[in-house]
Structure 1
Amino acid sequence: MSQHPRNSWLAQTLGRLVLKITGWKVSGVLPVEPRSVIIAAPHTSNWDFVFLIAATSALGVRIHWLGKDSLFNHPLGFIMHWLGGIPVNRSKRTRLVSQIAERFQSQVSLHLVIPPAGTRAHTDRWRSGFYHIAQSAKVPVIFGFLDYPKKLAGISEAMPLSGRLQEDMDRIRAFYADKVGKFPALSSTIRLEEESDVTPTAPPKDPS
């Protein structure tokens, strides 16, 4: 069996069709790494999920995402699974990081999309779950992005985490510095709670 299964032909075709109809372009390539945490940002609209899943599908990436278990407990729940949904019990939030890390260890291939803002409204920090999951599972992070003015969606190359939080977050901030969401005023500040006692510095511009 392939160590890095691609998305289905149907999903790729549908993804390309959605992008073509809406006038969006896609950037990126199929990741070399079979497992990763994909950051989804900026997150300001319900359309973000549509365009990101269309872009990753067009690239051949089979993505997964976390959803409330109640979304899967009805006759159409199989559609959620087909779209890559993974049901989670939010009442057991304290063990969520370890549960997802264990799932990574049991999967040959898993690209998990997480929007660190956690909401479409503006917040002054990102949730740190994506970082701790990637660290615990020993998988890299990939930057999934949407740039509405350019109508460009895609993913970056994988970035292994160094374990030095400030350094890793500075690299993340630099990447997203020029990415603009559908509603820019709702974009959340890229900063983790664990950084609250660190004086932020202006992120360097990405030369690419």
Structure 2
Amino acid sequence: MPGQPTPAPSLLSRLFKALLLGLYRWKGWTLVDVHPVPKKCVILGAPHTTNWDFVFFLGATNECGIKPSFMGKLSLFKWPMTRFMLDMGGVPVDRSRRANYVEQVVAEFTRRDELALVIAPEGTRGTITAWRSGFYHIAHGAGVAIVPAWVDNAAMTGGIGPAIFPSGDFAADLRRIADFYRSVMPDHPKLAVLYAQAAIEGEKAAA
């Protein structure tokens, strides 16, 4: 139920988070542009190029006073990892064929008063041909904003962009997201896929 109190984090999760935040400070990332983040939103983490991205987004959201959450396979939340995964912001998702993970996460947004869900829309650090659309369906279904965030590991900078409320027109909204990323990282090779995808979706919508 909304408003239900959250148990205090365990000692293990507090120590682990402190370690990750220490790594964030040690690496020396700088937030160069931060817009307000709604209490309920889907935060896009892009481009995803290294495992250090997780540390950056944890540190960046902590610096902004945001408690980030992430989706995890249901099997990862089994004892003895249950408390730790929940403390770290994990949202258990059943990925079986019979389960619709988008509906599960939408229900989680309904249940909570606050939920800033970080999603890597590329889905992998490797080569991709398009962004996955799950983030969009979750945000649209839950009626929450999409917040584009970015990290440039070469320059050790990052930021959080303005909230974009999904209209239901995926092509138009993807173009708005692409326009933001192009404004901050126009030449990043991995984001070229997003820029091309936005153009293709626009052509399909106009046809």
1:1-208 to 2 correspondences below 5 Å: 17-26=22-31, 27-28=33-34, 31=37, 33-92=38-97, 95-177=100-182, 178-179=184-185, 189-190=193-194, 198-199=202-203
CA–CA distance in structure 1, aligned partners of residues 169 and 201 of structure 2 = 15
For 1:169, give the aligned amino acid. L
- TM-score, normalised to structure 2, is 0.78
Aligned-partner SS, 2:96: helix
Deviations 1:24-54 (A, max 9, x none): 11242552x2100111110121111111111
Structure 2 unaligned regions, length at least 5: none
Structure 1 or 2: more helix by fraction: 2
CA–CA distance in structure 1, aligned partners of residues 155 and 180 of structure 2 = 16
Identify if the C-alpha distance between structure 1 residues 179 and 192 changes in structure 2 by more than 3 Å, giving closer, same or farther. closer
CA–CA distance in structure 2, aligned partners of residues 96 and 190 of structure 1 = 23
CA–CA distance in structure 2, aligned partners of residues 79 and 132 of structure 1 = 28
Instruction: Tell me if structure 1 keeps the 8 A contact 2:40–2:116.
Output: yes
For 1:28, give the aligned amino acid. V
CA–CA distance in structure 1, aligned partners of residues 111 and 53 of structure 2 = 29
CA–CA distance in structure 2, aligned partners of residues 161 and 119 of structure 1 = 24
Aligned-partner SS, 2:161: strand
CA–CA distance in structure 2, aligned partners of residues 113 and 47 of structure 1 = 15
User: Bigger shift: 78-87 or 33-42?
Assistant: 78-87
Structure 1 unaligned regions, length at least 5: 201-208
Aligned-partner SS, 1:170: helix
Aligned-partner SS, 1:199: helix
For 2:72, give the aligned amino acid. G
Deviation at 1:162, TM superposition (A): 2.2
Percent identity, aligned pairs only? 34
Deviation at 1:57, TM superposition (A): 1.2
Aligned-partner SS, 2:179: helix
CA–CA distance in structure 2, aligned partners of residues 194 and 155 of structure 1 = 20
For 1:43, give the aligned amino acid. H
Instruction: Tell me if structure 1 keeps the 8 A contact 2:24–2:55.
Output: no
For 2:194, give the aligned amino acid. I
Deviation at 1:163, TM superposition (A): 2.1
Aligned-partner SS, 1:157: coil
Deviation at 1:92, TM superposition (A): 4.2
- TM-score, normalised to structure 1, is 0.77
CA–CA distance in structure 1, aligned partners of residues 165 and 122 of structure 2 = 21
Deviation at 1:99, TM superposition (A): 1.4
